[in-house]
Chains A and B, each alone.
Chain A
Amino acid sequence: MELSGAEIVVQCLKDAGVEYVFGYPGGAVLHIYDAIFKQEDVRHILVRHEQGAAHAADGYARATGKPGVVLVTSGPGATNAVTGIATAYMDSIPMVVLTGQVPTPFIGSDAFQEVDTVGITRPCVKHNFLVKDVHDLAETMAKAFYIATSGRPGPVVVDIPKDVTDPNIKIPYSYPKRIKMRSYNPVTKGHPGQIKRAVDVILNAERPVVYAGGGVILDDASKYLIELAKLTNMPVTHTLMGLGAFPASDRQFIGMLGMHGTYEANMSMHEADVLVAVGARFDDRVTGKIEQFCPDATIIHIDIDPSSISKNVRVDIPIVGPVRAVLRDMVKVVEGHKKKPKKDALKAWWARIDGWRAVNCLKYDRNSALIKPQYAVETLHKVTKGDAYVCSDVGQHQMFAAQFYGFDKPRRWINSGGLGTMGFGLPAAMGVKIAHPKAEVALVTGEASIQMCIQELATCKQHDLPVKIMLLNNGYMGMVRQWQEFFYDSRYSHSYVDALPDFVHLAESFGHVGMKIEKPGDLEGAMKEAFGMKDRLVFMDVIVDPAENVYPMIEAGKGHHEMYLPPDSELV
């Protein structure tokens, strides 16, 4: 088969099993767009801003586990995509980003729409390539998919100069069947000796806690996480990125941990004698003050990336390997072990945990005349029967969604944790809806965040993506306002979102349905109506209490036992 560079790009996508590309055209990628025009297997989703393309591909990847694919032009196309690439990088999301580049003879001459894309993206990609010769194109594309999806996943950029895609130069094509790289060999199994040591420690534990993160979701390892927890009766807490890996409705789930984690999760961490960290990276929003982090615990850490281990917190038993394989092996070792978990000690441990639970740290005023954001999220859970894909932006609404939706399945909670990118939500929700057209896809957002990628409402119209938007409109950059209230004596410097658009009309002007909901009593009915409109995007502008804060809260740099609780909580 003889193909041009542009045709090779498209054929490689097909051969890599890609169904959707999220992109935006421009000079440097016109040959590729022409090749896309001439076929129907790879579908192109035209966004309205390259940041949206990257977030949409990212959302698609988070919801499916398949790599998201982005296609943008050189210069501003590439720079616009950078925020989305960095967002995916921080959360280890598999993505392949194809960027156009000026023709090779022009590289380095400050040519029209030239930027050093490889240089700009280097610190926020797993790897990147500049393809200088069409003969390298297929192999490089295949490597990009292999690197993006194996080991610790991440975005890979392939920068393609325009002359490399010249439609008039045809060369023989074949897609590499297997990629082997002498410099890159991700581990596929955990060390059996370390696994055995870890199990010994777990079975001797009196106050164990499982702290499981995004790695469990990325590796589709929920099944084994649940098995291990059930066999050992250990409590499970999740990071923001792990939510859904272990069912929130299970008695053994003690909620999210960290800055806005539950009292029971954080207290358990503080008192634990054994910590089983699984696919989590000891982020500072989780650990708080390192010196006070899990002071009494023997720490076991399962992670595929050796550089995650002992990076922030010294680990006692490291296990380098993929979560799924390691947990599966651990389950086998536990089952075959002559020792059983310490029943009495665990009973006492659970009694303490239940005591912390009774503090009811997620309590909020249920009789408020204003809509409480927590109530809005609970209502969303009720109306969607807890079975929606819930995307979010960044801020208080994100924390309320994380705390109150109660995720029972993995890949249902789609948010930007590591970079915390406002504007992520709407485009990500588009990607999720494309991946799962029959499923309910909800976006929980804030009036500040949604305005950062609001243009994507047009993409939703063009491509028929009826996501349901629940805007928790508090008129503030609530998360910023909360910090200013707590730490800056309520000097609300530039955190008031003045001059808001009329979101109902705005949604309507894009061809969608808009709704404004102001009373608690109207919420459930309105939401049912919105979700009843199966083929329409409905934008619910939910006016919530502007003064509500996210509790519990651990101030940055404090220990797990030093939490702010809701003002009228049951703890003295």
Chain B
Amino acid sequence: MRHIISILMENEAGALSRVAGLFSARGYNIETLTVAPTEDPSLSRLTLVTRGSDDIIEQIKKQLNKLIDVVKLLDLSEGPHVEREMMLIKVKAEKTGREEAKRMADIFRANIIDVTDVSYVIELTGSSRKLDAFISAIDEANIVEVVRSGPTGIARGAKGLTL
């Protein structure tokens, strides 16, 4: 099963490599990883997506919690939550392709944030599935470059992952 896990950790040099090292040393999957400081600059928030059986996910969470730098951890997949990923995609926009690219961006409610006479950069935010759908909706030959942030997420409702 796919799990999206949110971690609050001390914003210390090397904290990220402890997380990354844990996954490689123990042979766990890590599909995506995003990290940035929070409103409290002494804390970083890290979101990762991993896959595994229930037993493995349980071990992953225990091992993460065991890292001294980890302050709090929440498995977002265990409750209602929202997830968003951001993508920047550069597409060819010449002659006929230009119209087509614009139309697709409109259908997906994406923004065109850079325009040259031969290309667009399109920004799209949404669930990872929506991003996948956009990529497959575009003619592969027209895609120049794709950058994805990896998903990040937050639990629904009043409670939050805070100290």
Contact = CB atoms under 8 A, between A and B. Distances in A.
Interface of A: 118-119, 122-123, 126-127, 130, 147, 181-184, 305-307, 309-311, 314
Given A122-B18, A183-B9, A307-B63, A127 B68 contact: yes
Given A122-B18, A183-B70, 19 more contacts: A122-B14, A123-B25, A130-B13, A130-B14, A181-B68, A182-B163, A183-B68, A183-B69, A183-B71, A306-B65, A306-B66, A307-B59, A307-B62, A307-B65, A307-B66, A309-B62, A310-B55, A311-B59, A314-B55
Contact of A126 (B59, B68, B70, B163): B68
Contacts of A182: 71, 163
Nearest to B62: A307
Nearest to A124: B25
Contact of A122 (B21, B59, B62): B21
A309 B61 CA distance: 12
Contacts of B66: 305-307
Nearest to A314: B55
Contacts, number: 37
Contacts of A123: 21, 25
A121 to B, nearest CB: 11
B53 interface: no
Nearest to A118: B14
5 contacts: A183-B10, A183-B68, A183-B69, A184-B68, A310-B55
Contact of B17 (A122, A126, A184): A122
A311 B18 CA distance: 20
A306 B25 CA distance: 19
A122 B18 CA distance: 7
Give chain B's interface secondary structure class: helix
A487 B124 CA distance: 60
Nearest to A181: B68
Interface of B: 9-10, 13-14, 17-18, 21, 25, 55, 58-59, 62-63, 65-66, 68-71, 163
Contacts of B70: 183
Contact of B68 (A118, A147, A305, A314): A147
B136 to A, nearest CB: 40
Given A183-B71, A305-B66, A310 B58 contact: yes
A307 to B, nearest CB: 4
A427 B88 CA distance: 59
A184 B12 CA distance: 14
A259 to B, nearest CB: 24
B142 to A, nearest CB: 42
Contacts of A183: 9-10, 68-71
A305 B67 CA distance: 12
A126 B69 CA distance: 11
Closest 3 CB pairs of A and B: A307-B62, A183-B71, A127-B68
A143 B9 CA distance: 17
Contacts of A122: 14, 17-18, 21
Contacts of B13: 130
A307 B66 CA distance: 8
Nearest to A152: B66
A184 B63 CA distance: 13
A310 B58 CA distance: 9
Nearest to B13: A130
Contacts of A118: 14
Contacts of B163: 182
A183 B55 CA distance: 24
A154 to B, nearest CB: 10
Contacts of B17: 119, 122
Contacts of B59: 307, 311
Contacts of A126: 68
Nearest to A123: B25
Contacts of A305: 66
A310 B57 CA distance: 12
B67 to A, nearest CB: 8
Nearest to B63: A307
A311 B62 CA distance: 10
Contacts of B63: 307
A182 B55 CA distance: 27
Contacts of B25: 123
A45 B18 CA distance: 33
B56 to A, nearest CB: 10
Contacts of B71: 182-183
Contacts of A119: 17
A126 B68 CA distance: 8
A249 B70 CA distance: 45
A102 B48 CA distance: 34
A182 B71 CA distance: 6
A130 B14 CA distance: 9
A305 B62 CA distance: 9
A307 B55 CA distance: 11
Contacts of A306: 62, 65-66
Contacts of A181: 68
A311 B59 CA distance: 7
Contacts of B21: 122-123
